[in-house]
Amino acid sequence: MRSHVEWPIVYGDVAGRVSRIVAVILFVLLIAGGFRFELLRLLIPPYRMPPVEGPPSSLRQPLRLRNDGTPEQLRVFLTMARLQIPPGRTVSVVLPAPHDGFSYEYWRANYELSGRPVLLPPQVMHPANADYVAAWKSDWSNPLFDVVWRGSGGMVLKRR
């Protein structure tokens, strides 16, 4: 047996319809109220964002230099060492305490010597396994290596 439904189906009374209409109008107003009409300017050339004041000039330094605890002399040394070491050659970085091991300076050396695989710190892998050794403020020496460059408190050594 199928039940027979008479059309038109009436959903509630007039008060229910009015409350639904009011709810829809309030919802549309809520959405429209949150819209920023300044964004419509982005659709019209020259596509410029609204002007916003920048930070003071004292804060206008590259992000890579902000809050960097690496000593300035080590940064200069790693930059100069990068110029001495050809891309693709393995490098071991020898640093004095407290910069040795898996310190921030080791990861900074990985960044500065990009394109040159940096071996794990000397405690895990011996520096003599590398093609080049970048030793900063260290008296590291090995008869298998010749000094290629000295400066900025360190030296770059190349395997013979």
Tens of pLDDT along 94-145? 888 887 888 888 888 888 999 999 998 866 577 778 899 999 998 888 888 9
- Structure token digits, residue 72: 């300035």
Spatial separation of the C-alpha atoms in residues 81 and 148, rounded to whole Å: 10
Number of domains within the chain: 1
Tell me the Cα Rg of the chain.
Answer: 33
> Can you give the residue range of the structural domain that contains 93?
66-159
Residue 38 identity: E
- The predicted pLDDT at position 97 comes to 83
Asked whether residue 25 is domain-assigned, the answer is: no
- The predicted pLDDT at position 56 comes to 63
- The predicted pLDDT at position 10 comes to 58
Alpha helices in the chain (DSSP H): 14-33, 72-84, 104-112
Residue 61 identity: Q
Asked whether residue 50 is domain-assigned, the answer is: no
Asked whether residue 114 is domain-assigned, the answer is: yes
Asked whether residue 97 is domain-assigned, the answer is: yes
Q: How confident is the model at residue 35 (pLDDT cuts 50, 70, 90)?
A: confident
Asked whether residue 55 is domain-assigned, the answer is: no
Asked whether residue 58 is domain-assigned, the answer is: no
Judged against a pLDDT cut of 80, whether residue 4 lies above it is answered with no
Across the chain, which distance is largest between two alpha carbons, in Å?
Answer: 101
Asked whether residue 101 is domain-assigned, the answer is: yes
> Are 122 and 146 contacting, i.e. CB atoms less than 8 angstroms apart?
no
Asked whether residue 21 is domain-assigned, the answer is: no
Which pTM was predicted? 0.57
